[in-house]
Structure 1
Amino acid sequence: MPSGFERLLHHSPTPSPPPRRTSTTSRYHLFIRQQPLAARACGAGDRDRRPVDPPPILQLLLTDFDPNTSDDIDILQDPRFTVGCFLVPETRGSISSDMDGDSSLREDRLGTAPGQSTPLLSGKAFVSPFFVDEDPDPTTAPNHPSTFDYHLPERRAQLAPSTSKGAQQPAAFFIFSDLSVRTAGLYRLQFRLMNWGLVEDTGQSMPVLAEVWSDPFKVYPAKDFPGMRDSSRLTEGLKELGFVELKTRGKGKGKGRRR
């Protein structure tokens, strides 16, 4: 394992340093294709898993992406990319516009840093990309940004689905199928894109290449949890394409309910 990567997987009990800033010139962007909506609080033991529902699914987007160039396809397939997930309690009833700005301001306003919140989160919080030749749900697929875009792709409401009707695009997904939260409450997830190959190649600390925050979602006590939702088309498609860790729910697929 490259030097420095072990510290990302096992947080130090000492106070975390100020968060590293993402580069404003990076080609890399994270887009949340599937937002977490609810979860049932799990127990203290590692065996009690109550996955966040639906499983958060992120997509890697590249500025000026060209599916016809091998360099861009190689980037999407690079196994050295990883996305880390951090749990942050949401202490306010609404999200103000400053949450889309400076990351240190967001963490200060929430009253906690990601490194101090992760004990509430169990499961696989660091995942590698899952590459597919064709997006399994092209009707909801976002456009890759261009240098002429004026809106950041992380601002989900401002990024329209792809207008390339019938044109299948390759895609790289980061799928969090095994996340559980130990305590009931209102939370958000912070996702950070990193490439541990940079540590291996340069010996320097790992930069954060992109960052995005989920919408707030509620974790219920066991007696109040309303049940799991039916799986989305995206979830079903990714499982059919080989991501076997995803569990599908719905008619003929297991327990679930439509809401």
Structure 2
Amino acid sequence: MPHGFDKLLHHEPESSPPTPPRRKSTLPRYHLHVRQQPIAARACGAGDRDRRPVDPPPIVQILLTDFDPESEDDKDTLQDPRFTVGCLLFPFSDSSTWTQPPDPEQAERDQEKEKESDGVARADDDFSTPLLSGKAFMSPFYVEADPDPNSAPTHPSSDDINPPQSSQPHNLRNASKLHQPATFFIFADLSIRTAGLYRLQFRLMNWGSVEDTGQSMPILAEAWSDPFRVYAAKDFPGMRDSSILAEGLKELGFVELKTRGNGKGKGRKRN
């Protein structure tokens, strides 16, 4: 038998090549998405008795790059109780063009100049301003399934050629992803004392990084709200009916949300 012919008759399959390791994502792991934008508010008084919440209440959602709903580690990450989101208030000029979120450092410099010119003092805490009152830090609220899947965003993917920015809307889920878990930060207790045009900045942090490393707490992700108007009492158009998302989150246990429906928004002016 010719040399090597026996190998052709008794061919042994070659072992399958090893699966190449998954390409490491170049995107940041954490993202914030403003799921429910603030639209309007009635200016409140200086005391705690005259509280006029921003309407609708801003709702921010955390998204994870390459989130796997079957991964226990990813679901544990969404449920980490050490996450928190802080909220900052910034004035917004009517003449500005809202094309993309402004540079945070420049926005803070502009705000400092404005305060120096009108004599308004700022609190020592970096996440509070004299005009904003209420709960400016919120803990995560985790749900097993999104209460409004039709408006739910997708988690970013490292395979995206042009991944969406964290403050911009994401594509809707497809039908196979309707029951994914979600984590929200719900700002149901924000009030603003002076009429004007504003925007909110949200910053994601994790207190655990301080406990684990002893170092200062980094900002993991940021997102900006759309501009919204705060009205004087005589001009306020009234509260809107609650969204499907807000109704669902209250039913799931977030009792701080005050919901309104059936065209009976409190204080809404009739045409």
- For the criterion TM > 0.5, the same-fold answer is yes
In structure 2, C-alpha distance between the alignment counterparts of 1:90 and 1:254, rounded to whole Å: 27
TM-score where L is the length of structure 1: 0.83
TM-score where L is the length of structure 2: 0.79
- Partner AA of 1:55 in structure 2: P
- Partner AA of 2:58 in structure 1: P
In structure 1, C-alpha distance between the alignment counterparts of 2:43 and 2:252, rounded to whole Å: 30
Divergent runs of 4+, >6 A: none
1:103 is matched with 104
Percent of paired sites with the same residue: 68
Choose from 236, 239, 242 the match for 1:228: 239
Q: Which runs of 5+ in 1 are unaligned?
A: 1-23
In structure 2, C-alpha distance between the alignment counterparts of 1:25 and 1:201, rounded to whole Å: 24
2:119 is matched with none
Choose from 48, 55, 63 the match for 1:61: 63
Q: Would you say how many aligned residue pairs link Structure 1 and Structure 2?
A: 234
User: Alignment partner of 1:119: what SS?
Assistant: coil
1:131 has 2:142 as partner:
yes
Specify whether residues 88 and 101 from structure 1 end up closer, same or farther in structure 2 by C-alpha distance, changes over 3 A only.
Answer: closer
Specify whether residues 117 and 245 from structure 1 end up closer, same or farther in structure 2 by C-alpha distance, changes over 3 A only.
Answer: closer
Choose from 152, 161, 166 the match for 1:154: 166
User: Alignment partner of 1:118: what SS?
Assistant: coil
Computing the radius of gyration over CA atoms, which structure comes out larger, 1 or 2?
Answer: 2
In structure 2, C-alpha distance between the alignment counterparts of 1:169 and 1:153, rounded to whole Å: 21
CA RMSD of aligned residues (A): 2.4
Matches within 5 A, 1:7-46: 25-46=27-48
Higher alpha-carbon deviation: 123-132 or 106-115? 106-115
In structure 1, C-alpha distance between the alignment counterparts of 2:59 and 2:188, rounded to whole Å: 8
User: Alignment partner of 2:130: what SS?
Assistant: helix
1:247 has 2:249 as partner:
no
Specify whether residues 155 and 191 from structure 1 end up closer, same or farther in structure 2 by C-alpha distance, changes over 3 A only.
Answer: closer
Choose from 245, 249, 255 the match for 1:238: 249
Matches within 5 A, 1:66-215: 66-97=68-99, 99-100=100-101, 102-108=103-109, 115=126, 118-149=129-160, 150-157=162-169, 159-165=170-176, 167-215=178-226
**Shift in Å at residue 105 of structure 1?**
3.3
Specify whether residues 69 and 166 from structure 1 end up closer, same or farther in structure 2 by C-alpha distance, changes over 3 A only.
Answer: closer
**Shift in Å at residue 169 of structure 1?**
0.7
**Shift in Å at residue 63 of structure 1?**
0.1
Higher alpha-carbon deviation: 144-153 or 80-89? 144-153
User: Alignment partner of 2:179: what SS?
Assistant: coil
